[in-house]
Each structure stands twice: as structure tokens, then as C-alpha cells.
Structure 1
């Protein structure tokens, strides 16, 4: 029986946004076009190159700061603020935990990456040195995005062009150069690829490193564990967790070896008040004060709630969710209950959007709200400099709520999309066999 092309295998035929775009760029896929003649590496190479263009557009978007500096309030009114130049406010020390080093505010591996970039930055004065650091960081970020695109395409060998959700997302222009969050995203995605390719120890090492670079990959790890336990991959699961433990222990030992305290950023987080992007900040704008310890408790409850949601969805045999939508659902719970949700958090969900097989309409609705929030949050931050010019608190609250609802909408669409694809019996065309497992008790039947 011939394989029926799916919406994801031929997006220009099934995805309305892609079909509309194909009228401008290249044209839709022809009736007699051959599918699958090029390997997934072709799509990965093309998309990686296109992703670098979006990073370049991000530099253009921050042109004012590149030209005039990242000082406030100018960086706020021009929406070009970035955490990256802050790394050159002091001389590079002997370790990331030296005076002014990133180790005091960043997880271990991100602190080390920041320190290495600082050491590579040519000596200069003021803005010149910041420009050098920003340029080096931009190159590293472009490479990390390329690695994420390649890993996503490799996970979706049958439909590698779905990795365009990572490479061509508008949020790359606004959020990719704000911080080094993409470091954790890249490690996480490559770790998922290693798990998919049946290298559990390597996957554990990579996911452990991702957790040491950013905390959020721990949510994805939990999703992998739940699905692996459900599907009977107990032996692989042991190797995976062993690798995670080794990576985290090595990262902690690296920090202690250079005299640093890797727990310092988390201790600072526990004392942190409600930050930008958090629903708890809306309460503060409404003159309802929530103490820092209560916010910490709420954030911890969010992690527990995410685990409960993950267990429920993973054990629901009717849905039989794979890793991607399960991880997305759990991640969104953690994000919307956290103390803050900065603009760069948008990067966290890009690989999961691709792996869930969401349509570009869903992606662009969410990304449009993210871009609107990106512009609005800096205008709100500028309140302390010029209240008359700044965005009012009520308008900022509306943008924040819209952003939170858009994330919840992504989860809803991801679960619905998985159900639709299974009902149409085109699962084998969407993603590799393991990534979307067969329903419990079913016999795998692959079309000729």
C-alpha cells in the first residue's frame, strides 16, 4: 500500500501558512514530485543557514545598542537590551566566581561559557570591549541554534523540514541575543537525539549538562523518564539517569574546584521577588504584595503540579502521549507558575513545537504575542525612568496574560494535533517510530 503523504511530510499541501508562503518562495510541491530523495541532512543544512540570517536580523534589531551602548534607559526605549554585555563590566578573573563573574548569577556551565567568552574578548575600553564580547557571543549563539536545528531535523528524519519551527521562528530575532539560554536548549535537544538513537548514557550526560546550564531541561528529563518507564525501557532508563548524575556531579566539582559556589544562583532565586513575565507580578501591579518565600513555595508547587500533570498524561493509555507534547505541557506549567518568565524563555519551547508537529498558524499566533510582549516589557521596565513615556501597568498586565494564555494554547494544540495524527493513521509519516510509540497492545503495522 503506498504511503499517504501527511501534512508534515508535504507542508505546502497541508499547512495553510506554508502553502501561502510557497506562492512567494519556490512554489508548492508538484503533483509528481518525488518525496524523500534527499536525506534529512539537506534540510538541516539549509535551515541552519537560514537560522543564521535570523540571528543577523536580531543584531540589526539591536543596532541602536550596538552603536550607542547598552546603557539604560536608551536600551529599554529601543528594545535592544541584552544581558550579554553585562559580562564585560569587570575584568576577567581567574574563574567565573571571581569578582563580578557570571558564576554568582548563572548556573554552572553557563557561567563557564560566559567566562570563556570573556577571556576570549580582546582588551578594550568601554563600548569597544562590549561590542567584541557581543559579537563573539552572537557567533556562539548562531552555532548553538544551528546545533539545535540539526538535532531537531535528525529527530524528525521523515519530516526534517519541521525543524523550520526552530530555524525560522520570529522569536529568534527578538530573544536569541538577550542571553545564553540557547546553550541549554542545544544540549537538551542533542540529548534527546542521543536518547532517540539508543545511546542512553550519552543522552544522560547531555541532559545532565543541559540541567547544569539551565534548570528547565530537568522538566524534559522527567518527561523522558515517564515515557521510558511506561514503554518498558527500564535498562536504558538506568543508564540515562546514571549519565545525568555523572554530568551534574562533574559540573558541581568543576565549580568547587575553582572556589565557586554553584548553589549561589539558586539561593539568590529563593530570595527573589516576582519578576517580569510572571503572573505574580500582575498581582503586585494590582497592589497585592506576595512575600518572596510565598513565591518560592508557589514555584515549587508548580514543579509538583507539573509532575502530577506529567504522570497523568503519561499513563493515559487513550492519548499515549510521546515525549514532546508531554514535556511541553509540563514545561508550561513550570513557566506559568514561576517567579519570572523572561523573554528568552520563548527559546525553550521551539524544539518541542517542531517535535509536536504543530502547524505554522499555531506557531505564528504564539510568536506574534511573544514579539508584542517583547516590545511591551521594555516599555514597562522604563517606568522608573519616565512614567509618562512608559507602558502603563494595566496594558503590561494584559500583555502578560495574553502571553500565558498563548503558552497554554500551544499545549492544547499539541495534544489535539497528536490525537488528530493518530486518528488519521499517519503516525509513521510524522516522526520516527520510537518518538510517537504505538498504542498500548497494538501491533506495529508499517505501510509498504
Structure 2
């Protein structure tokens, strides 16, 4: 599995080749398709000053606190002099960590015993991973979130809460997974375990957040505080009016994004509480995260990494995975060509063509959400989980049945 997981990482490193040689400055990284927020952030924030400088607020890295701390920690040990050496060091270490993370996530989604699980190869060999692994520190939050779902399915609620809480401090979307877990716990009559999940999550947030709250509150909130005033970003359907020269105000986009979160939670609740059988947790999680992504203010390329383990967890087929991966690859090329041409109209990808690529990608993610719903509502129940005789009383009947003694379906 380690050798297989190394393949997308090697592809990601190969893609970074021109920038590893020449650096990430200027517009050329867009044309060379090797731009990386991870590398650029090291330069613009001075992350090579190290972890202590980050904790004291001297490293303005625009990342959630746990992700920023890890990047600063790695960059602080960079050998040699100069910012390019530090950038190369960070990407090299991140590539090694990426192999470890892919192997771990593949192991967490594998089927074992009563657990249906998913196809670990869809994690280890994910085409989207090759495109996104070295773009940003998102991988840390994705790995923690995946570990949290695995811990919940194996009836380790405290560990699940701590991992999802830590994931929230590395990338915001694990908070949505906590809601999905809460719905799943309510359906299964596992309220006591849910309290442990919540306690673990709060403990993890406190361990990460309190030191920064005391030393540098701005560092703690930097990546979240600007969200309210943020305009439409690349990849979002709300960016299309911007392409047409009629950008929508941040306040309108904030309302639309919040409504998207509400819709995601409502759909997850309908699926979990209204189904005659206990649905796959991975499918519900995929549905919720996909809805939030396609309705958010921004849908950057690297955010697609969030979906990789969830697609495997949900039990989707390789055909579905590859349809989505193809749309992601088209958008990946289009976004860099579009950005590279903003200052040179003669080399620019026309805005209309970028809009087509954007809509194709959003459509592919909506397709994943539809497939997740279909899998969740049609897949046979887990061994030990019988269909509820009266769906309207699903929670109470399941809570009183021996099914509650078995691990939850993933």
C-alpha cells in the first residue's frame, strides 16, 4: 500500500519540478502549473522563523491554527540559507508526510469484519490527490477528519471527538462532520457516546486554541476573521457573476454560504433520521461536505482533497470517482491558465472557457452528492442493523434493538 500511495505523491512532486528549480515567484508558476500556496505561504509569512515565532504572532500565515503551526514547525528546521531552500524543504517534508497520510487513510477506510468500509485504493491512487497534495496544508485536516470518522465507527467516541476537534483547528469542515456524527448517534441511540464526542472535541479545540488565545489571538482567528468580508473566490459558482463583471457583495455571499450549510445539515438529517435503515456514515458525510463546497464563497482547487477519503468511505465505484477526477483535472488546468493570463490578455484563457470548466467541476461534485444519496438509501444494511419497522419511530426502535451493540456502518 505504501508503494501505491507513493505514486500520486511522486506525480505531485513531478508537477512541482519547474518551481522547485526556479522558485514560485511571479506569474510563471501559473503557466508552469506548479503554483503552491504551501510554498508561497512560507515566503510571504516568513514561516522559516519557526514555531515559536508563529505562536507569538510574528508569522502571519493565513491558515487555521493547527495547520499554520505545523507549517511553521517544519519550515523552522529548514537547512541552508534563503527562502527558496526553506520552500523546497517544506515541500519535501510535506511529500513524505503525504505518503504516510495516504497509507493511514487507506487503512482507515478498508473493510474489516462487520464494517463495510470502502475501497482503500480509491484513497491511495486518487487522481485528485496527485493534483492537490502539495498545494496547501489541507492534508492535515483531511487526515484528522478521516481518523475521527474511523474512531467513531469503531466505537471510540472520545478519540473521535478529539480527532475531529483537532481537524477543525486544522481545516474548518470537520465541524460539519461532527454534526453528521451527532445525527448518526441520535439515530442509533448513542447519546452517552455523543457526550464523549463533544467533550473530546472541546478538549482538542482548547488544547490548540488556548495557548494562541493567550499569546496571539490574531493568529488564532486570522483564517476565519476575514471570511465575512471575503468576495467570491475561484471555483465557486458565485464567481461566475464576477467573471461577467457583476460581482456580488460579500454580505449576499455570506448569506448564500450560510444557507448552503443549513441545506447540507438538513439533507444529512433527512437522510439519517428519515431512512428506514441506518445509512452509511461515509455517504452522509460525503453528501454534506459536497453541498457545502458547491455553495461556498470559494471552492479552491485544494478543497477537493476533502472529498477523496469520503468518496471511498461512501462506497462509490471507481467509475464515479474517475468521472469526478476528470472534471477536477480540467478545472485544475483551466484555473492556472486563467490566473496566468490576468496580466497578459494575449496568453489568457477566456473567461467564458474558465466558467465552463468551473461549472463542469461543480457538476461533478453534485454528481458525487447524488451518488452518495443513492448509496445511502439503497445499500443493504450493515450486519446487525435491521430496517426499522416504522421509519417515523426509527430512532427509538433502533435504540432498543441489539443492533446498537454492533459497530456503526461506515
Fold match (TM-score > 0.5): yes
1:87–1:114 CA contact under 8 A, matched in 2: no
Aligned match of 2:275 = 317
SS at match of 1:388: helix
Which one of 318, 323, 334 corresponds to residue 376 of structure 1?
Answer: 334
Residue in structure 2 matched with residue 242 of structure 1 by the alignment = 199
- Flag the structure with higher helix content: 2
- Name the residue aligned to 1:142: 99
1:213-241 Cα deviation digits (max 9, x unpaired): 10011111111110110111111111111
Q: Do structure 1's residue 220 and structure 2's residue 171 form an aligned pair?
A: no
2:248 is aligned to 290
Alignment partner of 1:413 is 2:375: no
In structure 2, what is the equivalent of residue 328 of structure 1? 286
Give me the whole-angstrom Cα distance separating, in 1, the residues matched to 2:70 and 2:112. Answer: 26
Between 1:88-97 and 1:351-360, the stretch displaced more is 88-97
Deviation at 1:184, TM superposition (A): 0.6
Q: Is it true that 1:88 corresponds to 2:88 in the alignment? A: no
CA deviation vs aligned residue, 1:334-385 (integer Å, no higher than 9, x gap): 1111111111111111111111111111100000100111111011112322
Structure 1 unaligned regions, length at least 5: 1-45
Which 10-residue stretch deviates more, 114-123 or 140-149?
140-149
Provide the aligned C-alpha RMSD in A. Answer: 2.3
Query: Equivalent of 2:17, from 63, 66, 70?
Result: 63
Distance 1:106 1:299, change over 3 A: same
1:313-342: CA deviation from partner (whole Å, max 9, x where unpaired): 222123642311111111111111111111
* TM value normalised by structure 1: 0.82
How far did 1:99 drift? 6.2
Aligned length: 389
In structure 2, what is the equivalent of residue 343 of structure 1?
Answer: 301
Going from structure 1 to structure 2, the CA distance change for 1:271 and 1:279 (only over 3 Å counts) comes to same
Q: Does the C-alpha gap of structure 1 residues 156 and 138 become closer, same or farther in structure 2, counting only changes over 3 Å?
A: farther
TM (norm. structure 2) is 0.89
Tell me the distance in 2 between the aligned counterparts of 1:354 and 1:408: 16
| Aligned: 1:395 with 2:353 | yes
CA contact (8 A) 1:358 1:414 kept: yes
Q: Distance in 2 between matches of 1:296 and 1:142?
A: 36
Task: Provide the residue aligned with 1:20 in structure 2.
Answer: none
* The one of 117, 128, 140 aligned to 1:183: 140
Residue of 167, 170, 173 corresponding to 2:130: 173
Contact between 2:117 and 2:315, CA under 8 Å: does it hold in 1?
no
The answer to whether the aligner puts 1:440 opposite 2:388 as a matched pair is: yes
In structure 2, list runs of 5 or more residues that go unmatched. Answer: 390-397
Shift in Å, 1:193: 1.5
Q: CA–CA distance in 1 between the matches of 2:209 and 2:28? A: 38
Q: Distance in 2 between matches of 1:157 and 1:83?
A: 41
Deviation, 1:121, is 1.2
Contact 2:108-2:146 within 8 A present in 1 as well:
yes
2:190 maps to which residue?
233
What are the Cα deviations for residues 107-155 of structure 1, in whole angstroms up to 9, with x where unaligned? 1111111111111211412423321222122222222222222222267
Shift in Å, 1:157:
7.3
CA contact (8 A) 2:118 2:315 kept: no
Say if 2:111 and 2:118, in contact at 8 Å, map to a contact too: no
